[in-house]
């Protein structure tokens, strides 16, 4: 693919993700749910869009680290409910209960965000290996903001209690949260480096 075509595709992806993120965040504020801005997916969508426009591989990859695990669980739960008509993890029930069309449209980002982000990273080329540092720092800052200011109404990023049945709510939940999130970050980081870093050196 020609360089000009790649740059055009990156711009289109970047603008689309930024516009969609701004729309989602604005609508959340309109509905009286400004807390949702702290979801990894919402912030990640915006930052990945910036990364596409600036061709910054670290920005794109660091956000994939944060969103990949959550999105995989979300998509698995969605299709399980859709096919089996019963919940698997209980994290996508709201989609089937929500009556308004706009929230459902916004929720579609769970399906396109990860593939678009991975494709954008493929086009930009991965030039670094330690983008996990950005992911870790961002996760810690967001978690701290949510807990310090007690932004708990919507349990954003499952920061206050478990979103899935197989992770218990107990006195060790905060420790478990960090272990799980950090594990997802490092596993995703490892996979991205294996898939894309070598290609950038060829």
For 63-86, the pLDDT digits (tens) are 999 999 999 999 999 999 889 888
**pLDDT exceeds cutoff 80 at 1:** no
CA–CA dist 153, 28 (Å, integer): 13
Q: Residue 3 has what pLDDT? A: 81
Q: Residue 99 has what pLDDT? A: 67
Task: Give pTM, 2 decimals.
Answer: 0.93
**pLDDT exceeds cutoff 80 at 191:** yes
Q: Residue 55 has what pLDDT? A: 96
Cα 169 from chain centre: 23
Q: Residue 21 has what pLDDT? A: 97
Place 202 in a pLDDT band, splitting at 50, 70 and 90: very low
For 107-153, the pLDDT digits (tens) are 999 999 999 999 999 999 999 999 999 999 999 999 999 999 999 99
**pLDDT exceeds cutoff 70 at 200:** no
Containing H/E element for 1? Answer: none
CA–CA dist 197, 180 (Å, integer): 25
For the chain, the distance separating the N- and C-terminal CA atoms, rounded to the nearest angstrom, is 16
Domains of the chain, residue spans: 3-69+100-201
Highest mean pLDDT among 83-92, 98-107, 180-189: 180-189
Q: Taking phi first (over 0 means left), then psi (-120 to 50 degrees means alpha), and beta for anything else, what does residue 157 get?
A: left
Position with higher pLDDT, 196 vs 85: 196
Q: Residue 185 has what pLDDT? A: 98
For 14-65, the pLDDT digits (tens) are 999 999 999 999 999 999 999 999 999 999 999 999 999 999 999 999 999 9
């Amino acid at each position: 693919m020609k360089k000009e075509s790649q740059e055009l595709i990156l711009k289109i992806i970047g603008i689309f993700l930024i516009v969609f993120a701004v729309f989602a965040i604005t609508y959340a504020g309109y509905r009286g749910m400004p807390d949702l801005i702290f979801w990894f997916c919402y912030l990640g969508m915006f930052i990945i869009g910036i990364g596409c426009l600036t061709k910054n591989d670290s920005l794109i990859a660091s956000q994939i680290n944060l969103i990949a695990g959550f999105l995989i669980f979300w998509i698995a739960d969605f299709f399980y409910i859709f096919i089996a008509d019963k919940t698997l993890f209980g994290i996508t029930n709201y989609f089937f209960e929500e009556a308004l069309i706009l929230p459902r449209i916004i929720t579609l980002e769970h399906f396109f965000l990860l593939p678009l982000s991975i494709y954008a990273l493929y086009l930009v080329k991965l030039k670094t290996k330690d983008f996990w540092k950005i992911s870790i720092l961002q996760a810690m800052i967001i978690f701290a903001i949510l807990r310090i200011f007690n932004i708990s109404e919507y349990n954003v990023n499952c920061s206050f209690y478990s979103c899935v049945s197989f992770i218990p709510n107990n006195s060790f939940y905060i420790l478990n949260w960090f272990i799980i999130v950090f594990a997802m970050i490092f596993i995703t980081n490892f996979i991205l480096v294996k898939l894309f870093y070598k290609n950038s050196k060829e």
